[in-house]
């Protein structure tokens, strides 16, 4: 091959390589976002990292139930309290109620209110003006017993919760 042909071939290859390099740079520039280069490098570096999955916060239900009550029912939760830091709570449809008159509670149907002793845990569910369905737990009592107490001098907290139908048949 003569020198002129070899030089021309080198020039064509040089121009072709230059065009290919320019086009590759152009494509790379299109792929890089218009944000600072440091954040683009961080994005490339974080590709291999494991994603952080977060569970959504649970939706709050009435009276702090785990799942919502069915339609046409009322939510309730009765907590007896336990120890010095857990106070008794009565929740009905997200309303907290307080009542401590033993005669009134006995008139509503409690069979255990007169059996309560010092530091007994007790919960009671009733309805006024209609009868509760038969399958609903209505009353629990837990007396303080030094051998069984969960907290020093206090019995464990007890609770009754569930859903009461709005319209009873």
Half-sphere exposure of 161 (CA within 13 A, CB side): 21
In a domain, 53, yes or no: no
* pLDDT tens track for 66-119: 888 899 888 888 777 766 777 777 787 887 665 555 666 677 777 776 776 666
Domain residue limits at 153: 62-165
Cβ pair 156, 144 in contact under 8 A: no
Shared-domain flag, residues 85 and 42? no
Domain count, the chain: 2
| Listed residue (160, 159, 111, 108) closest to 136, CA to CA | 160
Query: Does 54 map to a domain?
Result: no
Same domain, 114 and 150: yes
Q: Are residues 37 and 77 in the same domain?
A: no
- pTM above 0.75? no
């Amino acid at each position: 091959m003569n020198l002129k042909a070899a030089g021309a071939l080198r020039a064509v290859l040089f121009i072709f390589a230059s065009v290919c390099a320019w086009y590759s740079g152009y494509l790379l520039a299109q792929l890089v976002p218009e944000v600072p280069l440091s954040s683009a490098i961080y994005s490339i570096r974080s590709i291999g990292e494991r994603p952080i999955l977060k569970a959504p916060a649970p939706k709050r239900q009435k009276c702090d139930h785990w799942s919502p009550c069915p339609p046409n029912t009322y939510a309730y939760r009765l907590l007896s309290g336990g120890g010095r830091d857990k106070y008794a709570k009565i929740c009905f449809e997200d309303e907290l109620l307080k009542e401590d008159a033993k005669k009134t509670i006995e008139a509503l149907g409690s069979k255990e209110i007169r059996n309560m002793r010092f530091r007994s845990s007790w919960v009671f569910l009733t309805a006024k003006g209609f009868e509760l369905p038969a399958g609903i737990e209505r009353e629990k009592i837990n007396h303080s017993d030094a051998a069984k107490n969960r907290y020093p001098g206090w019995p464990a907290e007890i609770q009754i919760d569930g859903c009461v139908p709005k319209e009873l048949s």
